């Protein structure tokens, strides 16, 4: 067989992921940027919360593309070993 079946994220699925991420950020009292890409690293959805730092748009986009390329989810566990990365990815406290 020359064609493989694959699962792909729907637009409704990306909205659910984004809503969950924003809700978690609100509970933590931080402002984030969230980028969701497809398996090829192409942008599906991007949002920066009010109060999110400008550089977090680039950071989260790069992180999402790297996760798609490596076929691994992004987690805080990987950035806990590098505290400065975790701070940059989070985007700072909400005021």
Q: What CA–CA distance (Å, rounded) separates 32 from 92?
A: 8
User: Which pLDDT value is given to residue 92?
Assistant: 53
Residue 31 and residue 52 in contact, taking contact as beta carbons nearer than 8 Å:
yes
Residue 37 and residue 64 in contact, taking contact as beta carbons nearer than 8 Å:
yes
pTM of the shown model: 0.70
User: Which pLDDT value is given to residue 50?
Assistant: 93
Residue 40 and residue 9 in contact, taking contact as beta carbons nearer than 8 Å:
no
Q: What is the residue-level pLDDT of the chain in tens, covering all 95 positions?
A: 788 888 888 999 999 999 999 999 999 999 999 999 998 899 999 999 999 898 889 999 999 998 888 888 877 555 445 544 444 445 555 55
């Amino acid at each position: 067989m020359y064609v493989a079946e694959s699962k792909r994220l729907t637009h409704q699925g990306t909205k659910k992921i984004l809503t969950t991420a924003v809700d978690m950020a609100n509970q933590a009292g931080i402002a984030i940027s969230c980028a969701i890409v497809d398996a090829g690293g192409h942008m599906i959805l991007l949002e920066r919360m009010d109060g999110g730092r400008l550089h977090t748009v680039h950071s989260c986009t790069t992180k999402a593309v790297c996760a798609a390329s490596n076929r691994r989810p992004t987690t805080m566990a990987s950035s806990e070993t590098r505290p400065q990365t975790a701070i940059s990815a989070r985007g700072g406290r909400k005021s």
